[in-house]
Amino acid sequence: AQSVSQHNHHVILSEAASLELGCNYSYGGTVNLFWYVQYPGQHLQLLLKYFSGDPLVKGIKGFEAEFIKSKFSFNLRKPSVQWSDTAEYFCAVLDTGRRALTFGSGTRLQVQP
Amino acid sequence: DTGVSQDPRHKITKRGQNVTFRCDPISEHNRLYWYRQTLGQGPEFLTYFQNEAQLEKSRLLSDRFSAERPKGSFSTLEIQRTEQGDSAMYLCASSFSTTSSGRETQYFGPGTRLLVL
């Protein structure tokens, strides 16, 4: 069965600091990977996705993620965070047979002004 | 707003009562998904529909849970004889895909928060 591990449960950064959130997955089929973000009081929104091709994918609001097949990782990065990036971030892998997303437990990011 | 909508947004019920939630997907999306999210966890898959057909159900979906999508548009999720362990956020998502391969993106609604007393 597939699984997703997010190592950082709670991250606190100052504005302008660089961000990297870890995500490791376990899945035996074709990999489709996602990062979703949930801002306070809002619903889950897609940040970026990887299906195939260039392993470095760019998403909204300056976020990017790198797919490293050999490490089964899909880490999220942003060079300079803003207070408005305060949110919970979820990594997910799609089971292409069952059409089910498997999510990690999430990382709560708190950016201090 | 043309995103996924869910109703109600909040539901408080007593143990043993039945509850029903509704989800309206993004227009023309042929796939609809239900997930459940508890505090401190990521969403967990419950079931999905392609058009009106329910094609996959998780082991999390006990006999007390039933989902329908009768006309391939909106969907309902019913929980019978609710238990305190059913307290969670119930999320609906939708997507559009014409193939059996990946390359589809699921878009989520705001969720229905259920509290069973």
List per-block mean pLDDT (blocks of 10 residues) for chain B, which spans 117 residues: 90 98 95 95 95 91 94 94 97 86 86 98
Q: Which residue has the tokens 């999508």?
A: B69
Q: How far apart are CA A1 and CA B116, in angstroms?
A: 31
Q: What is the DSSP letter of B85?
A: G
Quote the pLDDT of residue A97. 84
Put simply, the chain A residues between 2 and 41 with a CB less than 8 A from any chain B CB are: 4, 30, 32, 34, 36
Q: How far apart are CA B86 and CA B115, in angstroms?
A: 8
Distance from the Cα of residue A2 to its chain's centroid: 16
CB B103 within 8 A of CB B1: no
Q: How many angstroms separate the Cα of A22 from the Cα of each of A34, A104, B41, B55?
A: 13, 10, 16, 32
Please choose, from the candidates B36, B44, B37, B66, the residue with its C-alpha nearest in 3D space to the C-alpha of residue B54. Answer: B66
Task: Answer whether B42 sits within 8 Å of A90, measured CB to CB.
Answer: yes
Quote the pLDDT of residue B99. 67
Q: A103: nearest CA in chain B? A: B42
Interacting residues of B100 by C-beta distance below 8 A, sequence separation 6+:
none
Q: B49: nearest CA in chain A? A: A99
Task: Answer whether B102 sits within 8 Å of A94, measured CB to CB.
Answer: yes
Quote the pLDDT of residue A93. 95
Quote the pLDDT of residue B25. 97
Task: Pick the residue of B38, B92, B108, B113 with the most A CBs within 10 A to test the interface with A by mutation.
Answer: B108
Q: How far apart are CA A30 and CA A16, in angstroms?
A: 36
In a 3-state reduction of DSSP, which class is residue A89?
strand
Q: Which segments of chain A have a pLDDT < 50? A: none
A102 touches chain B (CB under 8 A): yes
A112 touches chain B (CB under 8 A): no
Query: Where does B1-103 show beta strands of DSSP type E?
Result: 5-7, 10-13, 19-24, 31-37, 44-50, 53-57, 65-68, 75-79, 88-95
B111 touches chain A (CB under 8 A): yes
